[in-house]
A = this chain, B = another copy of it.
Amino acid sequence: MSSRVCVLGTGLIGGSVLRAATAAGWIGWGWNRTPVDAQGFDVTTDLAAVLARAATEDALVVLAVPVTALDEVLRAVAEHAPGCALTDVVSVKAPVAGAVARHGLAARFVGGHPMAGTSESGWDAGSASLFAGAAWVVAADDGLDPDTWLRVARLALDCGAHVVPAAAAEHDAAVARISHLPHLLAAVLASVGAEGGALALGLGAGSFRDGTRVAGTRPELTRAMLEANRAGLQEALDDALGRLGAARGALASTGTVAATVEDGHDARRLFTEHERFDITDVDPTDLRALREAGRAGGVLRAL
C-alpha cells in the first residue's frame, strides 16, 4: 500500500491534510489554483504535473476544492490520473459522488468528510493538528473498493481523527440535522431578533448570542454548504417545522410548551451524554458491518 497523498486544493482543510499526513510519515504534495507560500511543502499551480506524479507513484488523490470547482478538477483527474485511488473532504457526499461518477472515476472513489474546521480559510489557517480527536466520516456503501477504503481510513487515522463509517446518504441526512439546520435556524433567529429593533438587539444576551453565532459565517460559504444538501436539509427542516407547528398549536390552544421543552431537554442530554464506542471486532473490508456499527455510534480508532 502506497503512503503517498496528492491533495487538490490546499485551503484550510486540504492544507491541513497535507501537513498532518506529512507529519505522520506520508509523502505528500499538492496543487492549488492560486500560488501558495507553503513553507517547504510541495504545492504548485500545475495541475497536470501534480496528477502525473500521482499516477506514477500510485498516490491517494484527495479532492479538497469547493463543490463549484469540482468538475474542472475531476476532468483533469480523469485525463491524468484515472487509475488513482480517490477521496474527498468536501462535506456533502451525494453531489460529490455524482460528479465523480459523471467523470467515470467511481471505481476507485471513497468519499470522506472530516468534521473539523474554523471560521477562517486558506492555507495559512490550516494546521497539522486540525483533525486531532475529530470525527472523519468515510463512506461505507456497498460496492466500494476495499483497498481504497482502507487507504482513506488510514489517512484519516494518521491525521489524528477517528473514522466514522457511514452510508453516503445517511451521512448527508445526519449532517443536515446537526450542521445545516443549525445554520438555517441561526439565520432566522437573527432576523427575528433584528426585526425587534434597537430595543430587542440591546437586550440580547447569552441565548441569542449562542443561537445566532453561526449566522456570522460568510453567507456564500453557508449557502454552498446548505444548497449542496438540498434533499437532506428539506427533510430536517420539515421535521423542525412540524415540531414548531405543534408548539404553536399548543401555545395557542392550552398555552403550554411542555412537550416541546421537555423533549428538547431530553434530546440535549442525549447529545451531551453521547458516547462513542470503539469498533474492534469487525473485518475492515466488510463495509456493511462497518456502516451498521457507525450508525449505532461506533468509531474506528485503529485498523
Complex Cα distance, B271 from A194, in Å, reads: 7
> 8 Å CB contacts to B: which residues of A206-242?
206-219, 222-223, 226-227, 230, 233-234, 236-241
Is the pair A182, B211 in contact by a Cβ cutoff of 8 Å? yes
With contacts A179-B208, A187-B265 known, is A164 near B199, CB below 8 A?
yes
Give which listed residue, B204, B237, B263, contacts A191 with CB less than 8 A.
B263
Partner-binding segment picked from A53-61, A121-129, A168-176, A279-287: A168-176
With contacts A202-B135, A202-B276 known, is A264 near B297, CB below 8 A?
no
**Inter-chain contacts of A1 with B (CB < 8 A):** none
Give which listed residue, B192, B227, B257, contacts A226 with CB less than 8 A.
B257
Is the pair B222, A188 in contact by a Cβ cutoff of 8 Å? no
Is the pair B202, A227 in contact by a Cβ cutoff of 8 Å? no
Is the pair B194, A189 in contact by a Cβ cutoff of 8 Å? no
Q: Is A40 at the interface (CB under 8 A from chain B)? A: no
**Inter-chain contacts of A198 with B (CB < 8 A):** 274, 295-297
Partner-binding segment picked from A7-15, A97-105, A245-253: A245-253
Give which listed residue, B187, B203, B222, contacts A174 with CB less than 8 A.
B203
Complex Cα distance, B241 from A4, in Å, reads: 50
With contacts A199-B174, A257-B223, A297-B198 known, is A234 near B248, CB below 8 A?
yes
Is the pair A243, B201 in contact by a Cβ cutoff of 8 Å? no
**Inter-chain contacts of A146 with B (CB < 8 A):** none
Complex Cα distance, B217 from A206, in Å, reads: 12
Is the pair A271, B193 in contact by a Cβ cutoff of 8 Å? yes
Give the Cβ gap from A252 to chain B, nearest Cβ, in Å.
7
**Inter-chain contacts of A93 with B (CB < 8 A):** none
Is the pair B203, A178 in contact by a Cβ cutoff of 8 Å? yes
With contacts A194-B271, A257-B223 known, is A247 near B188, CB below 8 A?
yes
Is the pair A210, B216 in contact by a Cβ cutoff of 8 Å? no
Q: Is A159 at the interface (CB under 8 A from chain B)? A: no
For A248, the closest partner residue in chain B by CB is B237
Encode A19-49 as 1/0 by CB contact (under 8 A) with B: 0000000000000000000000000000000
Give which listed residue, B173, B184, B218, contacts A196 with CB less than 8 A.
B173
Could you write out 27 A-B pairs with CB less than 8 Å apart?
A174-B199, A175-B200, A177-B192, A178-B205, A179-B208, A182-B208, A185-B185, A188-B260, A190-B264, A190-B265, A191-B243, A194-B266, A197-B295, A199-B295, A201-B297, A202-B297, A207-B214, A210-B214, A211-B214, A212-B264, A215-B265, A222-B261, A223-B257, A226-B257, A226-B261, A227-B255, A241-B244
Shortest 7 CB-CB contacts between residues of A and residues of B? A187-B264, A198-B297, A194-B267, A190-B267, A215-B268, A182-B207, A174-B200
Extra inter-chain contacts (14) besides given A177-B193, A227-B256, CB under 8 Å: A175-B203, A183-B207, A184-B260, A188-B240, A190-B265, A190-B271, A191-B263, A198-B274, A202-B274, A204-B274, A207-B213, A210-B210, A222-B261, A237-B244
